[in-house]
Amino acid sequence: MKLRKILAVVLALALVCATFGACGNDAGTSSASGTTSTTSETETGEESSSEAETDSTGDATLNIRVGMEPTSLNTLKATYSQEFSTFKHLYENLYMLDENDVPQPAAAETVDVSEDGMTYTFHLRDDGVWSNGDPVTANDFAFAWQQALDVNVAADYAYFLFFIKNAEAYLNYQGYALDPAAWEEANPDAEVPAEVTWEDVGVKVIDDLTLEVQLENPTPYAPFLFTFGTLCPVNQKFYEEVGADNYGTEAEYFCTNGAYTLTSWSHDSEIVLQKNPNFHGADSVAIDTLNMKIISDGQAALTSFLAGELDVTELGTAEILKQAEDAGYEVKSYNDGSSFYLMVNCSDPQLSNVNLRRALALGYSKQGFIDVAIGLPYSPMTSFTNPAVYGFDDTSFAEALIAENGGELAPAEGDVEAAKGYLETALSELGITADQLTLSIDCGDSPAAQTQAAFLQNQWLENLGIDVTINPKVTKQGSSDRKNGNYQMSITGWGPDYNDPMTFLDLWVSDGGNNDTRWSSEEYDALIDQATVETDLEARQKLFYEAEKIIFDQYMILPLYNRTQSYITSERVGTDPLRSTFQDFNYTYATLA
């Protein structure tokens, strides 16, 4: 289970803000998979014109758009999906995702997995080389992971290592040891964490090319976790030479072992990646130079694309998509795995009533929301786990859930008559009338975000006679207000970090670091706890089914839609850049026409 209360205290003591932007924010979703793009605009871009296949030096070059200046390109500090996508070009993990999002040995030439699935022994390639000429060793991974679990580093995604034996206990003990009095004040009913040293953590360097990793529990998706950006290797000698504060902040402070090196970073303008000639797979990388143009506005990105200044751009609004079609471009799309909903503050005096939450959830049309408020080819959210995430048999978990349930858990068109019944019950339980309800929706401050909130406002007024106020907020404020419980309903989203239903369903455990609903259920917690240790994968999936049913009975979130990203490419692009649920963009597989 992710990032419990003790970890939150650890991060607070380390003076960091644990807002998991890669995975969820006011306007978009994650990381590792989640994404950072807003619901009205999205991230990347690329160019046109077949005359310009190479630059003046003869290099094969692509000019691509990224939607924001990175908050960090330090693998230990990054939180946004765009940053993690950049790491796929710069670093090679023990496993990497292939073109089909399947983890494959990468920096590790071979992997031995014990019969009980609890021990992974990685045998590293002997031709792995850092961009400074150093060999890649097992210590580069062990050192990186120790830093990620160091409270003084305070990596937001430290919890991604909690599948490793004693990793969570190691971090928790550090939090206590840092300031015992503060820890005990914040955790008055908790036992003092037992002392755990790094030697107790299940990461052992056997020799330069052999790394042994012991897991906390059998973890079917462990290979996927090893591909995640926080688990990238770090060259210890280089890291200590440049200093932790400098590492990954400017071009001269990068040492990479992947397909590309970072050669230039003009902040808020452009990042340049050059093919790494020392990379063992360099011969299979077709693009020599990636010019990553930082363009936050989707309309400006399309204008640059049409002027031949970019090679690919996403189409984040209906108007931008229409302009691209009118210009004669074929619109392409992929499911980025992101699901959007209203998060509900279940500690609110009115919204603590489950029948009121049920009335609100069924009192609007999700398909109407998509058609009227967005106008893009999205799909209604009828399960919490996105349909792009697979279950135990490598098929869509959401589709299996619908079959198991005999239909959708949350009807795409809503159910106004049922909503009216729930509302009547809720008002009776609350002892008020509908006009005494005082409800509000927090949303982004863009016109598109406010249009979405206004659709819900109108639906509830017309269908249920409930008047709801709209509160536009900038992303940072909306995220902070959710963390602090200073909201009633807030439009937000979540994207998967790995290909397993757990990446969605463990959000709502009682002490989950991202559970800002203030909703708690011992039954739900028990299901997720059981799924964490269950080795029978079919039985594990049934536990997830029960968790989904609880979500759509209790409605701590009000479902909206699953996002599909649309984009266009220029005539220069041969093989498209890889764009998928778990790889927001990856140009190592792209070619020129």
Query: What integer pLDDT is reported at residue 58 of this predicted model?
Result: 56
User: What is the number of structural domains in the chain?
Assistant: 1
The answer as to whether 530 is a domain residue is yes
As given in the structure block, the two tokens for residue 463 are 């269908």
Report how far residue 163's alpha carbon sits from residue 166's, in angstroms, rounded to the nearest whole number.
Answer: 8
Residues 74/249, Cβ–Cβ less than 8 Å: yes
The answer as to whether 519 is a domain residue is yes
Q: What is the CATH number of the domain that holds 394?
A: 3.10.105.10
Report how far residue 455's alpha carbon sits from residue 467's, in angstroms, rounded to the nearest whole number.
Answer: 12
What are the phi and psi torsion angles at 547 (to 5°)?
-65, -45
Exposed / middle / buried, residue 10 (Cβ in 10 Å: 0-12, 13-18, 19+): buried
The answer as to whether 346 is a domain residue is yes
Q: Measured on CA atoms in the order 527, 528, 533, 538, is the torsion positive or negative?
A: positive
Long-range contacts of 149-154 (CB under 8 A, 24+ apart): 149/174, 149/201, 150/174, 151/10, 151/11, 151/13, 151/14, 151/175, 151/178, 152/14, 153/76, 153/77, 153/244, 154/10, 154/11, 154/14, 154/15, 154/16
The answer as to whether 467 is a domain residue is yes
Residue 153, SS3 per DSSP: coil
**Could you list the mean pLDDT of each consecutive 10-residue stretch along the chain, which spans 593 residues?**
34 31 38 35 29 51 91 91 93 95 96 96 98 97 97 89 96 91 84 94 98 95 96 98 97 98 96 96 95 92 96 91 96 92 98 98 97 94 95 94 93 96 98 96 90 97 97 87 95 91 94 89 96 92 98 98 93 88 89 89
Residues 399/575, Cβ–Cβ less than 8 Å: no
What's the domain range around 521? Answer: 336-564
Residues 152/14, Cβ–Cβ less than 8 Å: yes
Within 13 Å, how many C-alpha atoms sit on residue 417's CB side?
Answer: 0
The answer as to whether 381 is a domain residue is yes
The answer as to whether 535 is a domain residue is yes
- Residue by residue, DSSP assigns 518-574 as ----HHHHHHHHHHHH---HHHHHHHHHHHHHHHHHH-SEEEEEEEEEEEEE-TTBS
Query: What integer pLDDT is reported at residue 11 of this predicted model?
Result: 33
> pLDDT tens across 69-120, in order?
998 999 999 988 889 999 999 999 999 999 889 999 999 999 999 999 999 9
The answer as to whether 126 is a domain residue is no
Bridge partners (DSSP) of residue 112 are 121
Tally helices (H) and strands (E) across the chain: 18, 17
The answer as to whether 192 is a domain residue is no
Map 317-361 to HEC letters: CHHHHHHHHHCCCCCEEEEEEEEEEEEECCCCCCCCCHHHHHHHH
